[in-house]
Each structure stands twice: as structure tokens, then as C-alpha cells.
Amino acid sequence: MSALRLSHARLLALAPLLALQPLSAASAAPLDPNCFQQCPITATDNRVLTRVSHTLSNNAVTKFADWVAYEVTVADIGRSQRRVWRPDPLLPEDETLEPADFKGAHKALKTDRGHQAPLASFTGAPGWEATNYLSNITPQKSALNQGSWKKLEAAVRALANSGVGVVHVITGPLYEREMQPLPKADEPHRLPSGYWKIISLPLAGVTAVAGFVFDQETPRKADFCDTAYAVSVSEIARRSGLAFAPGLESGSAAQVRVHLGCAAVASSSEAAPRS
């Protein structure tokens, strides 16, 4: 285990004691081992759960995390592991969904159980099983989950493997229009209409930051490098209602996009229209 992960483990020793405490918007942005600079600030009293692999802010109304923060390192990327879906043991039953709630969703809605912190980025890390807790899962359209979203996650891992250093990621859902709910869920919930991802890379004393937004209806063959999906952090803040660290909003995106393998890709008709 790396020295960084050892320090994470020490910081996380008290996490089970803190995880079930609601955090106000004013107190939801402390320094955190998984958040680059600071965690996003929410406008709602969410529960913030910190684990070795990732930190998330669970919204009891939507039943999904408003944001998930994690970092990708070479040491944490391992061989494939099983997906065993479980409710998050640190969340009360009325603040999350359970595996049975997702039954029939793929057939009715064409959705997958989509990870926010990707399993494939943590299969070499301790506690990787927590990425399969439903607090880290949302119903994501199969075409998006298996298309540009998956390819962007793979590009982040390739970037971490390239020797450039630790890659910092924050991701979360958007709720910009009403979506059809899960057909078998017996708890009130709200499905995301889209997703955002912020990728940060410290380079030679400066922070390069790139933002992406994907609508749920993004076509399977869409290219994440397409400029139709490139957005500023300030736009993600406006559309998500979250407040991010000032350093993220001022970072340059071009260097991150180049490191992710994006050349100058013009906007394509493949892109789903923005909400």
C-alpha cells in the first residue's frame, strides 16, 4: 500500500463514527483525503461518507450521491473483480435504495447500475468492495454507461498509468428534467437527467482542470473528446447547484484534454442536445 493510502487509512479510522452524522452545507467542505483542495459544498443537509476509495455526499431525497470524489493512482488499479450490489451499511434504510429497487430497470428504462467512482479504478486497493454499494450507483442509460462514460474512465486510468501522477476526479448527477422512475422501487427517488465529471491534474506547480457533461441520452458511439461535452467548472457549478474549490474553477482545461488523448475534435451531430 502506498504512503498516501496509509495516511488515508489513518484519517479514515474515525469515519464510521462520523458517517451517519448529517452535515450542513456550511460544514460539508472540509479537507478530505479523496477531495482535491476541498470537497464540494451542497445546498442540502447530505450525509458525507468517506472511505479509502472515495468520498460521497448522499442526498436522502434523490437517494443518490450529489457528488463522489476520488483519486486514481497506478497502485489502485488491479485485476477485474465481481460486482456484488449491496445497500450502503453506513446509510439509514430510508436514505438509499436497495438491490430489489433496480429490478426491471434495464428492460423498462434501458439503464445499467452505473458506478460514479469506477470499480475498475480501485480493484487493486483495499476496500474496493465499497464501490459496489448502492450509494455509489445510479441508474445510468446503457448507451452512456457502456459508451463515452466508460471510455472517459478508461482514459483517466491510462493517464494515471502514464506516470503523470495522481489524477483527481469529482463526479455527480444533474437533475435538469424529470425522468421516469425505477419501475420496481418502493421508495421515492429521482433519476438523473445527466452527469458531470471534473478531472484535475497538478502539473509543474499549476492545476489543469477539465469539465465534462453528458446527457442521459448521449449516443453509445459518442466521443467524450467531442467539444459538445466539454464545459467549464463554473457551468457545472451552476447546473448542479454545488460550490467547488476556487482552484478548480480557474484551472486550464486544454492540458488535461491533451493528456486524455483529445486532439482538436470539433462538435459533432452525434452529441445529444443539452438540457
- Residues catalogued as catalytic: 115
Q: What is the DSSP string of the chain?
A: --HHHHHHHHHGGGHHHHTTSB--GGGS----TTSSSS--B-SS-PEEEE-SS-EEEE-TTTSSEEEEEEEE-GGG--S------B--TTS-GGGS--GGGGTTHHHHH-EEEEESS-GGGTTTSTTGGGGGBGGGEEEEEHHHHTTHHHHHHHHHHHHHHTTS--EEEEEEEE-SS--PPPTT--S-----SEEEEEEEEEETTEEEEEEEEEETT--TT--TTSGGGEE-HHHHHHHH--B--HHHHHSBSHHHHHHTT-------TTSPPP-
Residue 273 grid coordinates: 442536445
The answer to whether the CB of 97 falls within 8 A of the CB of 134 is yes
Give, in order, the Cα–Cα distances in Å from 191 to each of 62, 111, 115, 183. 7, 11, 14, 11
**For residue 234, what is the DSSP state?**
H
Q: How far is CA 260 from the centre of its chain?
A: 17
